[in-house]
Amino acid sequence: MPTKIETPTLRVFENFIYPEEEIYLISQIPKVEKTERKVRTGIFRYGAYIPPYRNNIVSEEIPRWLRGFSELIDYDHVTVNEYWDSQSLDYHYDSLESGEIISVLSLLGTGILSFKNKKGDMIHNVRAYPRSLIQFSNELRYDWKHSFKSDDHRYSIVFRKSNIKVNA
pLDDT tens, position by position, 76-98? 999 999 999 889 999 999 999 99
What pLDDT score was predicted for residue 4?
59
pLDDT, one tens digit per residue, over 128-155 is: 999 999 999 999 999 999 999 999 999 9
Task: Compute the C-alpha angle 46/6/47, nearest 5°.
Answer: 10
Query: pTM for the whole thing?
Result: 0.89
Q: How high is the pLDDT of residue 7?
A: 64
Instruction: Give the residue among 104, 103, 113 at the shortest CA–CA distance from 146.
Output: 113
Phi, psi of 153 (to 5 degrees): -60, 130
CA–CA separation, 140 vs 136, rounded Å? 6
**Confidence label for 164 from pLDDT (cuts 50, 70 and 90):** confident
> How far, in Å, CA of 2 to CA of 24, rounded?
19
**Mean pLDDT computed over 33-39:** 78
Backbone angles phi and psi of 61, in degrees to 5? -100, 135
Whole-number pLDDT of residue 134: 97
3-state secondary structure of 73: coil
Which amino acid, 83? Y
Residues in the chain: 168
Q: Per-residue pLDDT for 1 more than 90?
A: no
Q: Provide the pLDDT for residue 49.
A: 77
- Report the DSSP pairing between strands 123-128 and 77-83: unpaired
pLDDT at 40 (0 to 100): 80
